[in-house]
Amino acid sequence: MSKNEIAISIKGLYKVFGNRSKKMVTHLKDGMSKADLLDKYHHVLGLKDINIDIPAHQISVIMGLSGSGKSTLIRHINRLIEPTAGSIDIYGENVLSMSKGTLREFRRHKVAMVFQKFGLHVHKTVAENVAYGLVIQGMSLKKAKQKSSKWLVRVGLEGFEDHYPSQLSGGMQQRVGLARALATDADILLMDEAFSALDPLIRTDMQDILLTLQQELHKTIVFITHDLDEALHIGDSIAILRDGEIIQQGSPQDIILKPDDEYIVDFIQDVNRGRVIQIKSVMNKGVSIKGPNFNQNTVLEDILPEIVKSAQQMVNVVNDQNQVIGSVDLKTVASAIAKPVIQSNNNTNYTQSSSGD
């Protein structure tokens, strides 16, 4: 389990919807836009030149507005959608060259999926739904139920085994969806807006359930969302999709502090920066003082009162081994918390902390 192992590698992926999609790729490569493609050739651009390496055992978030191609992208990973061009490798294995049978085995054992609208089988009980993946693998229903029951317990559905999905609330239904996906022991978990249909409170609950499970399971999770707070909360890394193109990839800190263009600036407008940005992202490297030490993952909101309290209005930053790696002062923190400014001429300017790494 090397730290930088790549689980999913997508290269030069194009998806165009329409009869002559292959031909459209050449137009796109010549620089045609999504709107022109629709106007002139009546083909819908789904994805354009996607290149992304998804690391193993982490939560990778793909974020974008409605219609940006998120669902299309995630469905390429288990080939529910055939690409128009490009390659998809999973742990070095080419998904696109798999035969139908191999692909089925791959879906049975290697990737599991959680759906926005849950995708439960309404004619089956909760226990039967959770056991579904194992039954498809060829296990008897009885044995599959036995084996999957621990996942049912893990997501907090004990006692609901014999209920039908329609008897459960949305949040509980999605727990069934999650347990069903976990039960197959697949390493890769594809989650397409899995929590988007839920109420805010329940959604936070589900995020926490997922994070708790992930701490022990270390699955490779591809998580789709259109919600930045959700992305920042659970993502180890974030990729932002617009009109079928990935416009920025990076850690949550990168996205907030160094947005690549105005679209992303708009996106991060309403984020509570103080609660997201960690001091390691804004510290002055190497500079240290005689003063209190704080862990690098402390967020600005928590450090602010400490800085104000401190004698030099400055504190040290330490890494997880408690070694001092830098410091932050009041000015740095204040300018990092300041929102990006939109000026009257509609040009968006971003005031970036001068002391990033």
Partner 1 sequence: MDFLGKFPAMSRGELRDFKKGIDGSFSEFTSEHGEAIESFFDPLLHFLVWFEKLLLATPWPLILLIIGVFSWLGSRSVKIVIGAVLAFVAIGYFGMWKDTMSTLAIVSVATLICISIGIPIGILMARSKYAQAFVTPLLDVMQTIPAFVYLIPVVMLLGIGKVPGLIAVCIYALPPIVRLTNLGIRLVSKEALEAADAFGANYRQRLFDVQIPLALPNIFAGINQTIMMALSMVVIASMIGVAGLGVPVLRSISNQYLALGLLNGLAIVALAIIFDRVTQQYGKRLQKHRHGDLHE
Interface ranges with partner 1 (CB under 8 A)? 78, 80, 103-109, 111-113, 115, 117-123, 132-133, 135-137, 164, 166-167, 180, 184, 190
Is 264 in contact with 307 (CB distance < 8 Å)? no
Distance CA 125, CA 148 (A): 13
Q: Where are the alpha helices (DSSP H) in the chain?
A: 21-29, 34-41, 70-77, 100-109, 126-136, 141-154, 170-183, 200-217, 228-234, 252-257, 262-267, 273-276, 279-282, 300-309, 330-337
69 binds, among ligand ATP, partner 1, Mg ion, none (CB under 5 to 8 A by kind): ligand ATP
Q: How far is the CB of 21 from partner 1 (least distance, A)?
A: 20
SS3 269: coil
- Report the alpha-carbon distance of residue 16 to residue 11 in Å, rounded: 16
Q: Using CB under 6 A, which of the segments 67-75, 92-100, 181-189, 326-334 binds ligand ATP? A: 67-75
For residue 83, state whether it binds ligand ATP (rule: CB under 6 A): no
Cα–Cα distance, 86 to 15 (Å, whole number): 9
Of 94 and 269, CB closest to partner 1: 94
CB of 166 vs partner 1, minimal distance in Å: 4
Q: Which residues is 16 bridged to in the sheet?
A: 45
What are 252's two structure tokens? 């949550």
Q: Which of residues 36-65 bind ligand ATP (CB under 6 A)?
A: 44, 46, 64
Report the nearest approach of partner 1 to the CB of residue 180 (Å): 8
247 binds, among ligand ATP, partner 1, Mg ion, none (CB under 5 to 8 A by kind): none
Partner whose binding site includes residue 83, from ligand ATP, Mg ion, partner 1, none (CB under 5 to 8 Å by kind): none
CA distance 323 to 317: 8
Residue 233 interacting partner from partner 1, Mg ion, ligand ATP, none (CB closer than 5 to 8 Å by kind) = none
Binding site for ligand ATP (CB under 6 A): 17, 44, 46, 64, 66-72, 226
